[in-house]
Amino acid sequence: MLVCPKSTSHLHKFRQGNRMYVADLSQCLVLEIDNIVWEILDLCSYFSSEEIIEKLGNKYDTELVIAALNSLATMDQQGLLFSNLDISSPALETETPQKLKILVLQRSPYTADITLATGGVSVAHHNLVKSLGVYASLDVGSDRDERFNESVQGIRFQVDDKSALLKLMANNYDGVLLESHLENRFFSFLHCIDAPFIVPIYSARGHNGDVINTGLVWYAAMRPFDAFLVPTNSVKDLYGRFVCDKDIFHTIPLGVDTNKFYPLEKQKAKNEIAKMLNKPEIATSPVVGFFSRFQPEKGAGIYIKIAKLLPNVCFLMTAPTLNIYAHQELPPNLICAPQQPRDQLVRFLNAFDVYCFPSMVGEETFGLALLETMACGIPPIVPKLDGLPEVVGDAGIVVTAQTYDDEIGSFAGTVSPNVMADAVNTLLTDEKTRLALGQKARERALTFTWDKTAQNVIALFRRLKRIQQLENGYKRHFGISFVPYLNNRRKQIESRAILNNITLQKERPLMKDSYAQSIEVGLALALLRKHSRHEVEAVLHHLYGQDRAQATLEKVFGLEESVNG
């Protein structure tokens, strides 16, 4: 199989009608290729072979992707496409890519210390920014100008400060990273800063539909060289129900700092936590942990019910507050610890024998707390909801849950306390399975690193920059006329669109002078002169429904692809 990354700077892809080709400029060689190889050549400069298989496996059969990589490996062995470069020649040496300059826009001022942070989004964003600093130069929105380290510069910026925005526009950034798609204050920046935007979606749904609607507003505004970053495929699948352009969603998993979250000696951790909380039963009983906000949609009520079903088991939780549960009688085997600083969490999590996370909130796109617990070697039990199963894999127990198409008060579904309790009891009574899953959990967590996340984000920025350069080239715009015409067969006046073979440069790229089109095709072509693809999609969807809109857009984009080159 072809070993990637591979340099493709000497390759040039082009289309001739419905056929695709790649030209090896170093050998004056042209080869015909198929769709899969075409896309592999787009990715192989930035991603490993395994990452390419994962990315294209959502679109093509995995075996076909592997077969294409094998065929490219055969070409490589034969001295085609990759192997015939004289790497000793200075003209062909692979140059180290120049560091990107990235603007980071976020809700609150950047801080180097997140010891007391509780929100998963803020923790994920901070770790991503920290890791990106290895590969890029970052300007981060802050309340003052401040140098945090060699790569991260805080810049004084407020959304309503027009002069500050003008300075940002003049900085020639290579890309813009948002903290979250919920930061709709930055919509207008999309048309002010001429650089690719990466907009993370860490909350897929919830809040009475506002989360999805905010995502769809971003979607409509995005240019062909902007992208959504989603941590699991569950987010892409959810939004794929509402939009046509699913390729704008790029799955890049989050990471975990395995130097801060790691296994400790179990009994020693239990003894320390038992002494700290003055709860000796922690040291002598099986412990089922909970590590999240203690709210109904996070499964707090379910967790309490599980504790009641297993009275001989110690249930240990840490949360900022008990919320509504502070006003009710809790079972005696439920121990509520105060919020733990992040630098002390590893000891607390290692006191768990099992991590029980019965969350049903409509925002579980990944589960950062889940991954951090897995990194400590604790086997998890989670419901089959959104992104949680993608993180757990085969390193825990995924319990069947009832999910809702439309969330109810931010609830995305429900899970049975009895089923969760049975799963907990299964692991507590089967030490061999529990220890094996704990080892698997640690091994799986080691595959999720912030460095890998940062490298994938940098690769995505570079790919988007290349798309932007292509988009900045000349595009032909066809004239569209909407005319009434007499349908002799039906004996009635109808309407149709005429595609006029006249462009802004008075060229004639098509064979004939005019072509009769359906009204929806003509409308799409006319709107595309002034509006983004996604805005046109919204109009067609409103007028004709999703299926007809998607079919129309496929025709129109196919025409654009063929004519504009």
> Do 114 and 88 share a domain, yes or no?
no
Would 455 be classed as within a structural domain? no
For residue 513, what pLDDT band results from cuts at 50, 70 and 90?
Answer: low
Q: Read out DSSP for 278-301?
A: T-THHHHS-EEEEES--SGGGTHH
Would 6 be classed as within a structural domain? no
In 3D, which of 151, 153, 150, 174 has the Cα closest to residue 110? Answer: 153
> Do 21 and 153 share a domain, yes or no?
no
Cis (ω within 30 of 0) for the bond into 263? no
For residue 90, what pLDDT band results from cuts at 50, 70 and 90?
Answer: very low
- Give CA–CA dist 245/556, Å, rounded: 13
CA 177 to chain centre: 12
> Do 314 and 191 share a domain, yes or no?
no
> Do 118 and 193 share a domain, yes or no?
yes
> Do 126 and 61 share a domain, yes or no?
no
Q: In degrees to the nearest 10, what's the CA dihedral of 82, 86, 88, 94? A: -40
Is pLDDT at 83 greater than 70 in this prediction?
no
> Do 431 and 485 share a domain, yes or no?
no
Last-in-domain residue among 47, 69, 92: 92
Would 1 be classed as within a structural domain? no
Last-in-domain residue among 185, 220, 251: 251
> Do 71 and 171 share a domain, yes or no?
no
Q: How big, in percent rounded to 5, are the helix, strand and coil portions of the chain?
A: 40, 20, 40
Would 230 be classed as within a structural domain? yes
Residues of 101-113 as b/e, b for ≥16 C-beta within 10 angstroms? ebbbbbeeebeee
For residue 351, what pLDDT band results from cuts at 50, 70 and 90?
Answer: very high
> Do 64 and 136 share a domain, yes or no?
no
**Based on the structure, what is the number of domains in the chain?**
4
Would 297 be classed as within a structural domain? yes
Is pLDDT at 331 greater than 50 in this prediction?
yes
Using alpha carbons only, what angle is made at residue 561 by residues 558 and 565, rounded to the nearest 5 degrees? 155
> Averaged over 311-325, what is the pLDDT?
92
Taking CA atoms, 262 is separated from 7, 120, 152, 274, 441, in Å, by 37, 19, 28, 20, 11
**Per-residue pLDDT reduced to its tens digit, 246-293:** 889 999 999 999 989 999 999 999 999 999 999 999 999 999 999 888
Would 164 be classed as within a structural domain? yes
For residue 163, what pLDDT band results from cuts at 50, 70 and 90?
Answer: confident
- Give CA–CA dist 20/562, Å, rounded: 11
Taking CA atoms, 479 is separated from 94, 466, 504, 506, 528, in Å, by 45, 29, 9, 11, 11
pLDDT of residue 362: 81
The CATH number assigned to the domain holding 347 equals: 3.40.50.2000
- Give CA–CA dist 416/381, Å, rounded: 13
For residue 91, what pLDDT band results from cuts at 50, 70 and 90?
Answer: very low
**Per-residue pLDDT reduced to its tens digit, 400-443:** 999 887 777 788 889 999 999 999 999 999 999 999 999 999 99
For residue 28, the tally of other CB atoms under 10 A from its CB is 7
Range of the domain at 227: 100-251
> Do 318 and 199 share a domain, yes or no?
no
- As a whole number, the mean pLDDT across the chain is 85
Last-in-domain residue among 213, 228, 251: 251
Q: Among the listed ranges 59-68, 270-279, 384-393, 497-506, which one has the minimum average pLDDT value?
A: 497-506
- Give CA–CA dist 92/74, Å, rounded: 22
> Do 112 and 78 share a domain, yes or no?
no
> Do 285 and 401 share a domain, yes or no?
yes
Would 519 be classed as within a structural domain? yes
> Do 350 and 285 share a domain, yes or no?
yes
> Averaged over 319-340, what is the pLDDT?
90
Would 468 be classed as within a structural domain? no
For residue 92, what pLDDT band results from cuts at 50, 70 and 90?
Answer: very low
pLDDT of residue 320: 84
Name the token pair of 124. 């994920």
Q: Among the listed ranges 78-82, 97-101, 236-240, 330-334, which one has the minimum average pLDDT value?
A: 78-82
> Averaged over 195-212, what is the pLDDT?
86
**Per-residue pLDDT reduced to its tens digit, 481-502:** 887 777 778 878 778 888 876 5
What angle separates helix 368-375 from helix 431-445, to the nearest 10 degrees?
A: 110
pTM of the model: 0.77
